[in-house]
Amino acid sequence: MPNVSLPVPLFLAAGGLCLLSGYLVGVVAGPDAPQRTIGVVSSYDRGSGRLCLTGEDVAEQEGADDEGALCGLLRRSLSSPVPSAGDSFRFVWVRGEDPPEGSSGEPVAGALIYGDVVD
């Protein structure tokens, strides 16, 4: 029986097609990336790190309250400016874990807010 082999360009084209199809399946069926949203800072408490945001895009978020505000614990880099009321704030909201029963002190917010003040 003779030895049959594929030509190199055909082999490379088939490999490229497999990679491309895998990428497309990953993009279509893969998880959604977190969406960065811009809101307006309504309040920020430096002591507790609690940040409250308002705005049209904020009111559409899953964790927003009845008044359209989203509150949570702010997580930011040390070099980023401290937010103050009225600042535009680009953020990603992540649902946090609820505090364990019997924990002392005020319950923490059920959300973490990662973001930075927008110039």
What are the tens digits of pLDDT across the range 64-119?
A: 788 888 888 898 888 888 999 999 999 887 876 555 554 444 444 467 888 889 87
- Domains contained in the chain, CATH given: 37-117 (2.40.50)
pLDDT at 1 over 90: no
| Whole-Å CA distances, 110 to 26, 28, 30, 70, 73 | 31, 30, 26, 10, 8
**3-state SS, residue 65:** coil
Those residues whose C-beta lies under 8 Å from the C-beta of residue 12, and which sit 6 or more positions away, are none
Tokens representing residue 68 in the block: 């359209």
pLDDT at 56 over 90: no
